Amino acid sequence: GEDVEQSLFLSVREGDSSVINCTYTDSSSTYLYWYKQEPGAGLQLLTYIFSNMDMKQDQRLTVLLNKKDKHLSLRIADTQTGDSAIYFCAEMNTGGFKTIFGAGTRLFVKA
Amino acid sequence: EADIYQTPRYLVIGTGKKITLECSQTMGHDKMYWYQQDPGMELHLIHYSYGVNSTEKGDLSSESTVSRIRTEHFPLTLESARPSHTSQYLCASSEGGTQETQYFGPGTRLLVL
């Protein structure tokens, strides 16, 4: 079945770049997403990329998609302490029936 | 900004009680979802709905039930709460169509004693 995998933890220093990686198995994925969850809150969409794109940039966020390797990454430039959160990678299949979420990457930003 | 609400935000209740977790959205979204998430852990889809009178079980088996009588409302009910039901419950909705951004509510933290 479909699966989305992420590393569980990432620790960076304030001001450095963070790169959060994700791999997925469904080659028919049409949209891939990054969601952010702060403590005690629901998930909030950060950005998404359509499967025919290689890259998408939005201010400090850069999403890279390698469809051949089924690899998605989120780069956060100039990481701030406010970026500390859990980041979920997700994919939607062509049927659009459901979105598959990864287990989330816990980003710790050290001052 | 997403308009999806969950009540209560926090609930502490004794074993055996019946509880209903409320979820409402004002965006007119057809699709709605319930996820169970232990603190800081992955999401597990327990129920979803494509529209009024449509409900389906998700990937994780759950003793809860849901109903969808109105588009904007998707309550989740536990007939007899148990300590194993202690978790966070997240409700979400999406518009339906080619791009399925899900909008999440703030969650209900449930503690069953």
Q: Model confidence over A37-90: pLDDT tens digits?
A: 998 888 999 999 988 889 999 999 999 999 999 999 999 999 999 999 999 999
Chain B residues with beta carbon closer than 8 angstroms to that of A7: none
**pLDDT at B1 (0 to 100):** 55
pLDDT exceeds 70 at position A96:
no
B93 strand-pairing partners: B32, B103
Helix, strand or coil for residue A67? coil
Best residue in B32, B43, B89 for a mutation probing chain A (most A CBs within 10 Å): B43
What is d(CA A108, CA B19) in angstroms, rounded to the nearest whole number?
36
Q: What is the mean pLDDT of residues B34-48?
A: 89
CA distance A27 to chain B (A): 17
Q: How far does A20 lie from chain B, in Å, by closest CA? A: 16
Nearest chain B residue (CA) to A51: B99
Can you list the positions of beta strands (E) in A30-102? 31-37, 43-50, 55-58, 61-66, 71-76, 85-92, 99-101
Sign for the CA dihedral angle at B51, B54, B56, B62 comes to positive
Looking at chain B, the whole-number percentage of residues with pLDDT higher than 70 is 96
Kindly list the residues from chain A whose CB atom is less than 8 angstroms away from the CB atom of residue B110: none
Instruction: Give per-residue pLDDT as tens, A3-52.
Output: 899 988 999 999 999 999 999 988 777 889 999 999 888 899 999 998 88
